[in-house]
Amino acid sequence: MWSLGVAAFVAFVAAIPQPLGIGAVLLEDASSAKGFLVEAVAVPTTRDITGFGGWRSFVTSETAA
């Protein structure tokens, strides 16, 4: 997790390409935080990486393959 000031957050969000966005993400401890989301229109053509336990594990598995 990272913490950004308002101006940095606005600049960061403005640079995120569609179909990605920022929204509330439910965490394992049932709290929520802002995180990356993908618009529903993109879901049918994307790969579900939930089974990897997170982005870092997915990237590691891809580089090991």
- Which pLDDT belongs to residue 62? 83
Q: Is the pLDDT of residue 64 over 80?
A: no
Domain containing residue 29: 6-64
Reported as a pLDDT band with limits 50, 70 and 90, residue 2 is confident
The pTM for the full model equals: 0.58
pLDDT tens readout for residues 19-47: 999 999 999 899 998 888 889 898 888 88
Total domains present in the chain: 1
The answer to whether residue 19 sits within a structural domain is yes
Distance separating alpha carbons of residues 61 and 20, to the nearest angstrom = 22
Q: Identify whether 1 is part of a domain.
A: no
DSSP-assigned letter for residue 17: P
Average pLDDT of the chain, as a whole number: 89
With beta carbons less than 8 A apart as the criterion, state whether 38 and 19 touch: yes
